[in-house]
Structure 1
């Protein structure tokens, strides 16, 4: 499965807990249509993260696996799926990245969150000129605090779209072949019945 990333510019807050700082916000919102590089549109359906939040997920600084801010299995990252989307809380570490991120978020320099994922369930609607992908379930790999929205995964997502199209073509071909096979079978049975009559 391909790893994809999506970024959401949505208010992210930093709270002082007395023991440090906690960053909180949404890494994804349900029902918000995104244009993915002009190739297709995408929405995330409610329920997409219901199982994914139970896994071991990392909190990262700008999708960098070398800059870990928290981890769900350690209790320093908490995620819930609510009516709006994927809500995230990260207890920022007392490290240079954690302290820098708190300052940058308080100043408004870091204003978004993102998530890295692999799609496990999706549907495609290709009835309009720009296909619509509805994500219904994912394997959630990481959530990140990010400075700028970007879609570096457009080519990966396009491979996903092309894969769906190839499967659809294959199904259409197989369905047509089955129809021809049934017609031949019926014709042969009819000829057999006629020859006996």
Structure 2
């Protein structure tokens, strides 16, 4: 499982019923700096292209969780429970999670809400996998951000399988997460129109079968 990240985009409201409505927004086409490269390495950045998460978001049978800190032992909401509504657009992945009064009594939920109110939890981080090349060719592309200078590597993801979205204190990338990614420049192209929306679904369905 890989993690992505972007700061901000969280809003918490209380409904008349006593339930909490948590709204979140993860913008596409925004570069996240995974590593500054240190003294000898090269800076590494990652961009999630428009509708990169579309496949599992639009399929009602595909489960997606809202978690605290990428921990499946600390769930806040989920699609299957009917407490997580996720929507996709060219600009962003957005969601609304319903946190019932009963769930608000759970220790990790109470702690997470308190941390949000204190301004300590301000980030979102999706957990995802890249589909196999045989299933979705050109699902990702790695290139030099400035070929003339060769300063940074930038990895653009066009198709990914989203499994969870996490609330985090800040999007952070341990070295193990960074190294798990493919950083070999491909010089490849982007997904063609016929393989990006409906075509992506058909391709993944063949792979899943």
TMscore range, shorter length: 0.7 to 0.9
- Distance in 2 (CA, whole Å) between partners of 1:99 and 1:156 is 28
Work out which of the residue numbers 152, 159, 163 in structure 2 matches 1:130.
152
Per the alignment, residue 141 of structure 1 pairs with: 163
Distance (Å, rounded) in 2 between the aligned partners of 1:59 and 1:136:
22
Q: 1:119 aligns with which of 130, 133, 141?
A: 130
**TM-score scaled to structure 1, two decimals?**
0.73
Partners of 1:111 and 1:147 within 8 A in 2: yes
Asked if 1:105 corresponds to 2:121, the answer is no
Report which of the two structures shows the higher radius of gyration computed on alpha carbons: 1
Aligned in 2, Cα 1:103/1:32: closer, same or farther, shift over 3 Å? same
Structure 2 SS opposite 1:51:
helix
Give the structure 2 partner of residue 194 of structure 1: none
Name the residue aligned to 1:46: 50
Q: What secondary structure, in the 3-state scheme, does the structure 2 residue paired with 1:160 have?
A: coil
- Distance of 1:148 and 1:156 partners within structure 2: 15
The separation in 2 between residues aligned to 1:143 and 1:14, in whole angstroms, is 16
- Structure 2: gaps (5+ residues): 37-42, 132-138, 188-209
Q: Aligned runs of 1:156-167 on 2, under 5 Å?
A: 156-162=177-183, 164=184
Unaligned runs of 5+ in 1: 169-197
User: 1 or 2, which has the higher helix percentage?
Assistant: 1
Residue 151 (structure 1) aligned to one of 173, 187, 207: 173
Paired with 1:160 and 1:83, the residues of 2 have a C-alpha distance of: 24
From 21, 28, 31, the equivalent of 2:29 is: 31
- Aligned CA RMSD, in angstroms, stands at 2.1
The residue number in structure 2 matching 1:172 is none
Higher strand proportion: 1
Counting matched residue pairs gives: 162
Instruction: Return the offset for 1:159.
Output: 4.2
